[in-house]
A and B are shown apart, each in its own frame.
Chain A
Amino acid sequence: MSLLEIKNLHARVEEQEILKGVDLIINPGEIHAIMGPNGSGKSTLAQVLAGKEDYEVTEGEILYKGEDLLEMAPEERAREGIFMAFQYPVEIPGVSNVYFLKAALNAIRTHRGLEEMDAMDFLVYVREKMKVVKMDEALLNRPVNEGFSGGEKKRNEIFHMSVLDPVLAVLDETDSGLDIDALKIVADGVNSLRSEDRAFLVITHYQRLLNYIVPDVVHVLIDGRIVRSGGKELAFELEDKGYAWLEEPLGAGEPVGA
Chain B
Amino acid sequence: MAPSDTELLEQHVDQKYEAGFVTEVETETFAPGLDEDVIRRISELKGEPDWMLDWRLKAFQHWQTLTEPTWANIEYEPVDYQAISYYSAPKSKQDGPQSLDEVDPEILRTYEKLGIPLQEQKMLAGIAVDAVFDSVSVATTFREKLADAGVIFCPISEAIREHPELVKKHLGTVVPYSDNFFAALNSAVFSDGSFVYVPKGVRCPMELSTYFRINAPNTGQFERTLIIAEEGSYVSYLEGCTAPMRDENQLHAAVVELYAGEEAQIKYSTVQNWYPGDPETGVGGIFNFVTKRGLAAGRRSKISWTQVETGSSITWKYPSCILKGDESVGEFYSVALSKGRQQADTGTKMIHVGKNTTSTIISKGISAGHGQNTYRGAVKILSGADNSRNFSQCDSMLIGDQCGAHTFPYIDVQSPSAQMEHEASTSKIGEDQVFYCNQRGIDTEDAVSMIVNGFCKEVFNELPMEFAVEARKLLEISLEGSVG
Please list the residues of chain A having a beta carbon within 8 angstroms of any beta carbon in chain B. 50-53, 56-57, 70-79, 83-84, 86, 89-90, 92-95, 100-101, 103-105, 107-108, 111, 143, 160, 164
- Asked if B1 contacts A143 (CB within 8 A), the reply is no
- Asked if A92 contacts B450 (CB within 8 A), the reply is yes
Given contacts A94-B456, A95-B454, contact A57 B1 (CB under 8 A): yes
Q: Mark B419-449, 1 if CB is under 8 A from A, else 0.
A: 0000000000011110111111111101000
Most-contacted residue by chain B among A57, A92, A100 (CB, 10 A): A92
- Residues in chain B near residue A72, CB distance under 8 A: 2
B453 at the interface (CB under 8 A from A): yes
- Asked if A92 contacts B2 (CB within 8 A), the reply is no
Contact for A103 among B438, B442, B457, B458, CB less than 8 A: B442
Contact for B455 among A94, A103, A108, A111, CB less than 8 A: A94
- Asked if A79 contacts B454 (CB within 8 A), the reply is no
Contact for A90 among B2, B433, B441, B450, CB less than 8 A: B433
Cα distance, A47 to B438, chains bound together (Å): 12
- Residues in chain A near residue B438, CB distance under 8 A: 51, 73-75, 78
- Asked if B446 contacts A103 (CB within 8 A), the reply is yes
- Residues in chain A near residue B450, CB distance under 8 A: 92, 95, 100, 103
Cα distance, A143 to B438, chains bound together (Å): 17
B431-484 residues with Cβ-Cβ distance < 8 A to A are 431-433, 435-444, 446, 450-451, 453-458
- Asked if B457 contacts A94 (CB within 8 A), the reply is yes
Contact for A86 among B436, B441, B446, B454, CB less than 8 A: B436
Cα distance, A232 to B301, chains bound together (Å): 72
- Asked if B1 contacts A89 (CB within 8 A), the reply is no
B1-26 residues with Cβ-Cβ distance < 8 A to A are 1-5
Most-contacted residue by chain B among A78, A79, A86, A160 (CB, 10 A): A78
A8 to chain B, nearest CB (A): 17
Q: A51-B438, A51-B439 are in contact. List 18 more A-B contacts (CB 8 A).
A: A53-B5, A56-B1, A71-B2, A72-B2, A74-B435, A74-B439, A75-B443, A86-B439, A90-B432, A92-B433, A92-B450, A92-B451, A92-B454, A93-B455, A100-B450, A104-B440, A104-B441, A107-B442
Given contacts A74-B2, A94-B455, A95-B454, contact A108 B433 (CB under 8 A): no
- Residues in chain B near residue A89, CB distance under 8 A: 436
- Asked if A94 contacts B453 (CB within 8 A), the reply is yes
